[in-house]
Chain A
Amino acid sequence: MAHPRERRPGSGLSRREFLMRSLGAAVALPSASAILAACSKPGEGTTGSASTVGTGGVDLGGPYPIATADNPVTWTIYDDVPPIADGLKIEEGATLQLYNWDQYIWKKQVEKFCEGVGCDYKITTFQNMDEALTKIRTGELKFDIFFPTTDTFGKLVSAKLMQPLNHSYLDHLEENVWPQLISPYYDQGSRYSVPYVVYTTGVAYRRNVVKDQDIYGMSNPFDILFDPAHKGRSGVYDSYRDTMAMSLLHLGNEDVNTDKQADIDAVEADLIGMIDAVDVRYSINGAYKLLPENQYDVHLSWSGDIAAGWFYVSKDTAYEDLGYWFPEDRRGMIGSDTMVIPTTAEHPVLAHEFLNFMLSFPAAMDNFAWVGYQPPQNDADPDTLTTTKSVWGEPYIFPWMEAAVVRKEDFERGLPQWELTPDVDDMWHDAWQNFRAGAK
Chain B
Amino acid sequence: MSAPTTTRAPGLARTGARTPPAPPKRSWLHDPWRKPRVLESITWVYIAWSLLPVLLAIFMSFSSGRSNSTFQGPLTLQYWTGTGFEGDGASLFRDPDLRSAIRQTFTLSFVTMAIAVPLGVAFAIGLDRWRGRPASGSNVLMLMSFVVPEIILGVTALYVVLYLFTFIPLGTPAQVMALVTFQMSYPVIIVRARLLSIGKEYEEAAMDLGAPPKQSITRVLLPLLMPAILASFAIVFADTIDDFVTVAYLSGAAESQTLSMKIYTQTRGAPTPAVNAAATFMLISTTLVITLGYLAYRRFSRGQSDTGVGGFASQV
* Chain A residues with a Cβ under 8 A of chain B: 16, 20, 25, 28, 30-31, 34, 97, 102-103, 107, 122-125, 127, 135, 138, 140-143, 283-285, 288-289, 293, 312, 314-315
Contacts and interface: CB of A to CB of B under 8 A. Distances in A.
A428 to B, nearest CB: 23
A119 to B, nearest CB: 13
B66 interface: yes
A140 B161 CA distance: 11
Nearest to A25: B167
A141 B171 CA distance: 9
A127 B170 contact: no
Contacts of B119: none
A142 B171 CA distance: 12
A289 B170 contact: no
B269 A141 contact: no
A264 to B, nearest CB: 27
Given A122-B253, A122-B255, A31 B167 contact: yes
A289 B269 contact: yes
A16 B170 CA distance: 16
Contacts of B254: 97, 122-125
Contacts of A122: 96, 100, 253-255
Contacts of B255: 122
A141 B167 contact: no
A143 B253 contact: yes
> Which of A124, A312, A315 is most buried by chain B, counting CB atoms within 10 A of its CB?
A124
Contacts of A97: 253-254
Nearest to A32: B166
A31 B268 CA distance: 37
B170 to A, nearest CB: 5
Given A289-B269, A314-B67, A135 B252 contact: yes
Contacts of A31: 163-167
A123 B164 CA distance: 29
Contacts of A138: 162, 170
Contacts of A124: 253-254, 257
Contact of B269 (A34, A103, A123, A135): A103
B68 to A, nearest CB: 11
29 contacts: A20-B166, A20-B167, A25-B167, A28-B165, A31-B164, A31-B166, A34-B164, A97-B253, A102-B269, A103-B269, A107-B89, A122-B255, A124-B253, A124-B254, A124-B257, A125-B254, A127-B265, A135-B252, A138-B162, A140-B169, A140-B252, A142-B253, A283-B268, A284-B268, A288-B270, A289-B269, A289-B270, A312-B270, A315-B70
Interface in B76-98: 89, 96-97
Contacts of A16: 166
Interface residues on B, range: 20 to 34
A312 B65 CA distance: 11
Nearest to B70: A315
Given A28-B165, A31-B164, A138-B162, A285 B170 contact: no
Interface of B: 66-67, 70, 89, 96-97, 100, 162-167, 169-171, 252-255, 257, 265, 268-270
Given A135-B252, A285-B269, A312 B167 contact: no
A123 B100 CA distance: 11
B265 to A, nearest CB: 6
A102 B265 CA distance: 9
Contacts of B97: 123
Contacts of A289: 269-270
A34 B268 CA distance: 38
Contacts of A107: 89
Nearest to A111: B89
Nearest to A289: B270
A122 B97 CA distance: 8
> Which of B89, B96, B163, B270 is most buried by chain A, counting CB atoms within 10 A of its CB?
B270
Given A122-B253, A312-B66, A314-B67, 16 more contacts: A20-B167, A25-B167, A28-B165, A30-B164, A31-B165, A31-B166, A34-B163, A34-B164, A102-B265, A102-B269, A103-B270, A125-B254, A141-B170, A143-B253, A285-B270, A293-B67
Nearest to B166: A31
A28 B66 CA distance: 50
Contacts of B253: 97, 122, 124, 141-143
Nearest to A20: B167
A390 B50 CA distance: 46
> Which of A107, A142, A284 is most buried by chain B, counting CB atoms within 10 A of its CB?
A107
A315 B66 CA distance: 10
Contacts of A127: 265
Nearest to B254: A124
Contacts of B167: 20, 25, 31
A103 to B, nearest CB: 6
A135 B170 contact: yes
A110 B238 CA distance: 35
Nearest to B266: A102
A274 B130 CA distance: 60
B268 A141 contact: no
Contacts of A142: 253
B7 to A, nearest CB: 50
B166 A284 contact: no
A25 B268 CA distance: 39
B172 to A, nearest CB: 12
Contacts of B252: 135, 140-141
Contacts of A315: 70
A127 B270 CA distance: 13
Contacts of A102: 265, 269
Nearest to A121: B96
A125 B248 CA distance: 12
A283 B167 CA distance: 36
A285 B268 contact: yes
B55 to A, nearest CB: 23
Nearest to B100: A122
Contacts of A312: 66, 270
Contacts of A140: 169-171, 252
Contacts of B270: 103, 285, 288-289, 312
A20 B66 CA distance: 50
Contacts of B166: 16, 20, 31
Contacts of A143: 253
Contacts of A284: 268-269
Q: For the complex of A and B, list the 3 residue pairs with the smallest distance between their C-beta atoms, beginning with the closest.
A: A124-B254, A31-B166, A25-B167
A288 to B, nearest CB: 8
A16 B268 CA distance: 38
Contacts of B170: 135, 138, 140-141
B267 to A, nearest CB: 10
A142 B255 CA distance: 12
